[in-house]
Amino acid sequence: MKAVKRAQTAVVNIHTEKSSDESNSIFGKTNRGKINGMGTGIVLDERGYVVTNNHVIAGVDSLEVSLCDSSRYSAHVVAFDRAHDLAIIKIDGNPKLDVMTIGTSSDLMVGETVIAVGNAFGYVHTVTSGIISSLSRDVEVNEEQQYRNLIQTDASINPGNSGGPLLNLDGEVIGINVAIRAGAQRIGFAIPIDDAREQIARLLSVETLEHKYHGLLTRDVKTPDSLQLVVDNVKSGSPSESAGFQNGDVIVRIGQTHIEDRVDLERSLLGLQTSDNVPVLIRRGSEEQELMLTLSRLSSRQFASGVETPTQPSAQPVAFNGSEAWDVLGMQLEEMTGSSKKRLSPRYRGGMQVVNVRPGSPAAANGIRQGDVLVGLHVWETVNTENIDYVLDHPQLKTFNPLKFFILRNGETLYGHLNLSSTQTTASR
């Protein structure tokens, strides 16, 4: 079928490995069993950026992907959003990948034929078909995971399909397969692609991932006949204002990347240096013209405070690289709010959850890992990003080195010392 042939080279099979139990030790090696997992991903960018479900990669120790030609690569997590169950991973190395053709979920109809492609039960690139059974389904998996506005389909979706594409007959992705109904046959669900792309754009933001700034606020305009990215606002004093962008401009192309929505905008800017001038083709009214955009760099304080990240809602924080905690300590940190605080000991007012650890960093060298909760640095508590900034921007920071830290793991408080001038650290219980 032409639809499958068009899409299958942009589908990857995800293979994961995670520990079967936890250790209370903060340092040293332990002998732990491993659990193998599986999922599917959709190629977003030819350099190896792939979207999948967060539950596919949550807590994994290692990540590998295989392509349609059976080649295999290691991969790593770039960013994720638990609330929307989406994650971005990056394939290591420099494979030249085909990018999935994006459709729209704005015109879906009940009874429409759809196709699912994925790593079903580990059978790579399994293809199933069915129809759209219903639209706008709300599904509650458990107390911590709820989905809104899902596509329901009777195309066979099985364990391992998570993160893979739901296609229309043109081979365009119109949904991301996410869940099945336990105990039922041929009841599966997918995130509408228009909803997913809004969150993917946040996860791929150059402000979030690379601490760089363009100053464009844009709006996706998606209809059955057209996919367009329209400029809604240009921030005063921003690189985009300097480049000459105006409200109402339609962004057609950035460099060599054709632009259909904000995901394309963000991925086209990833990897650019602040000295690079990138040509941007826009349509203003009935005429096209070319602008030259040069990104600037955000300060750590601007980034951490969210001043220059308007697309990142505070109620649903996104794990990110690029903050001082990542640059200096090697940790991605996320504030604990609401129900997540209930897991903390009453002695703590809050903490910062470790959502990723940079290999080779002080945090990695000291055995800190994903899922730990940072509750203190030196003599100060770490309840929010301002607390982290206070310590890392402190004029006497050098005198604190090695920097003492306190974390919670499995209800136990552990501590150690981060050597900020070296990746060699020591830790104690």
Any idea which residues carry the catalytic annotation? 55, 85, 162
Which helix (H) or strand (E) is 289 found in, with range? strand 287-293
Q: How many CB atoms lie within 10 A of CB 402?
A: 17
Q: Give the residue among 292, 194, 265 at the shortest CA–CA distance from 45.
A: 265
Which helix (H) or strand (E) is 244 found in, with range? none
98: which strand partners?
none
3-state secondary structure of 68: coil
103 dihedral zone (left: phi>0; alpha: psi -120 to 50; beta): beta
Number of H helices, E strands in the chain: 11, 27
3-state secondary structure of 395: coil
Report the distance separating Cα 62 and Cα 43, nearest Å: 19
Q: Give the residue among 164, 156, 230, 149 at the shortest CA–CA distance from 11.
A: 164
* Residues, the chain: 429
218: which strand partners?
231
Beta strand 146-153 with 352-357 is unpaired
Q: How many CB atoms lie within 10 A of CB 27?
A: 16
Report the distance separating Cα 157 and Cα 69, nearest Å: 23
Separation of CA 85 from chain center: 9
